[in-house]
Every structure is written in C-alpha cells, then in structure tokens.
C-alpha cells in the first residue's frame, strides 16, 4: 500500500491530476499493487478556504504520504494579493517543508512529435537530456529581499527592489552529488551551468562542482556559462546528457528546453530530498486558468510525472516503462490534445487522452 497525496491546485490542475490518478489506478490493477489517495488543497483554492496558500493540513498530509502528486497553482484573480498570500508562494513553501532541494526535469523528444517542435528534425531527433535544478536556494529564497524607498542624491524617494542570490557550499555539494549520480546512471556526461565569469556565487558553485567531481571519476564534468547554454540548447541539444544548475537558471533553461519537445504539456518533473524522504512530482507547466474546465489541457506531463513517481519513490522500473511506452504508443497512433494537434491527427480531450493511455497499459499486459 502506497500513500499518495494529491495536490490538484488551481486552473487545469484538477483535470490533469485526475487523469494521472486514473493511470496510476490502471497500473495498480495490472501489477496487483494498491494506492491510497488523499486530496489536499494548495494554491488559490487553499487561500479561498484557509486564507493561506499552503495550509498546515496540507503540509501534514504531504509529510504523512509516500509521495506527492501536484497539478499546478495560480490564477490571475489572485495577482492583487500580497506576495506572501499568492498561490505561487505555496510552491516555494512545500519545497521548503519537504526539503525538496533537487529537481529532475527530463527532456525527451518522441519521434512521433518531432514535427510539433519549432526546431528542425535533424537538430532534435534523439534528444534525451535530464536537467538537475537546485530547488531551495538562489534568488527565490535568498535574504535580504524586498522593495524599499531610498533617498537619492536629489533628496527624492526612489523605490528599489532587491533579492539576494546566495548559496552555501553545503547546498551546492548536495545537489552536485545528485547530479553526478544521475549522470553516472546515464551516459556519464555532466555539464554544470553557471555564470562564473561575473557572479561570485557562481565561482563558488564551480569550485564545489570540481571538488565533488573527484568522487565520480567515471563522469566527465564540463562547465558552461548560462547564456551560452541557452543558445546551445537550441543550436545543438544533443550535445547534452545531464545538466546541473542553480534555481533561477534551471527554471529558465528547463522551460526553454520544453520547446524542444514541442509543448510544456509534455514535460514531467520530480522534486526530491534525501533517500527515503517524501518526493513531489508535477508537470513543469502552469495552471493555465484560461483553459480551466474546457477539457482541452494536455495531461501527458502529469501522467509522466506519475511514471517518475513509480520509478524514483516506489522503485518500480517496470511500471515506469509500462506508462512511458503507453504514452509513446498513444502518440504513435496519432492521438493529440489541442496543444500538439496538427491536421491529420486525432484530436482528443484531456479525459480521452487519459482513457487511451489507460487502454494502452491494459493492452500491454
């Protein structure tokens, strides 16, 4: 029996998590395992009930679970709230509460979707990259931060906004070990992305990466400045196998990498802590409030996030492969949600996409 916390969130979150739950129930039926699902509120829907985006009850449910599956948070109607009450603060909060310092974002191009990418087929065919993003440090969490009024040389009050980009060597060391272990299990190539030519924090980052690399002689470590990495991801993404970088750089680069696959709706992620701790799985896209209730959102990223849950939290590689292959088979047969649909494809709704994937899992028995 595995306990899974379902944090559906806002916008399309409930719709896509429902499809991932359906897939998990199907794989449980196929493999004879059991799941216990518990719903909890996060984001705007939590604010509506508790006047806070991350209620204590939700944190407790997450801690008491074996894994967490999250949809998305946010809605434009909450943009006028104070920063600490906005739905997005819940994401930072749950990562801190569960100590989720390592975020794994695989970027795989399905042959069936090469035409959906904005890049040329010869550039993206065969791309298989994992971005390891540090998740609990950097400018998103650094202090001091804020907006304040300062008096300029003319005696006028001028507003200044500031954030502190900061990492301790221990924070860098632990994400480095995750990245090296990930690279070691793949093609043994790790590219560390920083801005060491300008930023002191990046110079420390690079120094620690080099120190940790001495414990992983089987892995080739290279370094790249983040602006160059952004260009190289588009120009020649196949040169990368595993990338490790800080919080803000990883946020930007992984979203950029989604365009390799053709849609944000295709990319899953896993946010993890130390071995044996609760991990959180979620699609990398947002809540898309304009699509809420229309049954058109792509659930594949959330379904693949559930597949990563089976692999990393429950150590069930077979279940991961079954789900992944079911998605691949579904795409091969031409089923597409609106975001990746082209003339000649079979247009399906969110619910129908989930149904087809579940059927593929059953057929694979």
Residue 279: helix, strand or coil by DSSP? Answer: strand
Question: Residue 56 has which token pair?
Answer: 């204590």
Q: What is the mean pLDDT of residues 309-327?
A: 96
Neighbour count for residue 309 (Cβ, 10 Å): 27
**Quick one: pLDDT at residue 146?**
93
- Token pair listed for 149: 């009024």
Q: What is the pLDDT of residues 147-192, one digit of tens each?
A: 999 999 999 999 999 999 999 999 999 999 999 999 999 999 999 9
* Pair type for strands 242-245 and 128-134: parallel
Q: How many domains, the chain?
A: 1
Length of the chain: 365
Q: What are phi and psi of 212, to 5 degrees?
A: -65, -30
Cα dihedral sign, 273-277-278-283: positive
Give the number of other Cβ atoms within 10 Å of residue 48's Cβ.
12
User: Is the per-residue pLDDT at 112 higher than 90?
Assistant: no
Q: Which of 266, 281, 267, 264 is nearest to 70 (CA)?
A: 281
Between vectors from CA 205 to CA 272 and to CA 135, what angle results, nearest 5°?
25
For residue 262, is pLDDT > 80?
no
**Tens-place pLDDT, residues 188-240:** 999 999 999 999 999 999 999 999 999 999 999 999 999 999 999 999 999 99
Q: Which residues are catalytic?
A: 140, 195, 227, 251, 255
Residue 263 reports pLDDT greater than 80: no
* 177 occurs within a structural domain: no
What does the angle CA 307 – CA 313 – CA 319 come to, to the nearest 5 degrees? 35
What single-letter DSSP state applies at residue 316?
Answer: -
Which of helix, strand or coil describes residue 313? coil
In a domain, 354, yes or no: yes
Backbone angles phi, psi at 237, to 5 degrees: -65, -20
Q: Domain range spanning residue 365?
A: 1-101+279-365
Residue 146 lies in a domain: no
pTM for this model (two decimals): 0.88
What is the average pLDDT score of the chain?
A: 94
Res. 113 pLDDT band, cuts 50 70 90: confident
Q: What is the CATH number of the domain that holds 322?
A: 3.40.718.10
Q: Which has the closest alpha carbon to 130: 229, 271, 244, 266?
A: 244
The mean per-residue pLDDT over the stretch 330-348 comes to 93
Tokens of 358: 């579940």
């Amino acid at each position: 029996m595995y306990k899974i916390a379902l944090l559906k969130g806002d916008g399309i979150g409930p719709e896509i998590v429902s499809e991932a739950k359906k897939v998990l129930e199907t794989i449980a039926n196929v493999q004879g395992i059991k799941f216990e699902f518990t719903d909890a509120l996060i984001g705007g829907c939590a604010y509506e009930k508790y006047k806070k985006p991350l209620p204590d009850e939700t944190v407790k449910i997450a801690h008491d679970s074996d894994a967490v599956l999250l949809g998305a948070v946010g809605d434009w109607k909450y943009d006028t709230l104070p920063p600490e009450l906005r739905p997005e603060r819940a994401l930072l909060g749950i990562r801190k509460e569960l100590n989720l310092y390592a975020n794994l974002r695989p970027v795989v191009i399905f042959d069936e979707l090469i035409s959906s990418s904005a890049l040329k087929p010869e550039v993206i065919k065969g791309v298989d990259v994992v971005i390891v993003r540090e998740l609990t440090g950097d400018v998103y969490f650094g202090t001091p931060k804020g907006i304040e009024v300062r008096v300029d040389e003319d005696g006028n009050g001028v507003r200044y906004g500031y954030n502190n980009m900061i990492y301790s060597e221990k924070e860098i060391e632990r994400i480095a070990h995750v990245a090296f272990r990930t690279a070691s299990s793949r093609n043994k190539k790790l590219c560390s992305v920083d801005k060491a030519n300008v930023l002191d924090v990046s110079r420390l980052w690079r120094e620690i990466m080099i120190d940790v690399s001495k414990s992983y002689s089987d892995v080739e470590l290279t370094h790249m400045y983040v602006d160059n990495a952004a260009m190289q991801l588009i120009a020649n993404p196949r040169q990368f196998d595993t990338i490790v970088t800080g919080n803000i750089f990883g946020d930007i680069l992984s979203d950029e990498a989604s365009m390799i696959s053709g849609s944000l709706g295709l990319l899953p992620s896993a946010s993890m802590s130390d071995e044996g701790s609760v991990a959180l799985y979620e699609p990398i896209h947002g809540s898309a409030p304009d699509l809420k209730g229309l049954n058109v959102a792509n659930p594949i990223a959330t379904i693949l996030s559930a597949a990563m849950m089976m692999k990393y939290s429950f150590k069930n590689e077979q279940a991961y492969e079954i789900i992944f292959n079911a998605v691949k088979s579904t795409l091969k047969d031409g089923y597409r949600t609106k975001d990746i649909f082209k003339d000649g494809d079979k247009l399906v709704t969110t619910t129908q996409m989930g149904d087809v994937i579940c059927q593929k899992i059953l057929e694979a028995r």
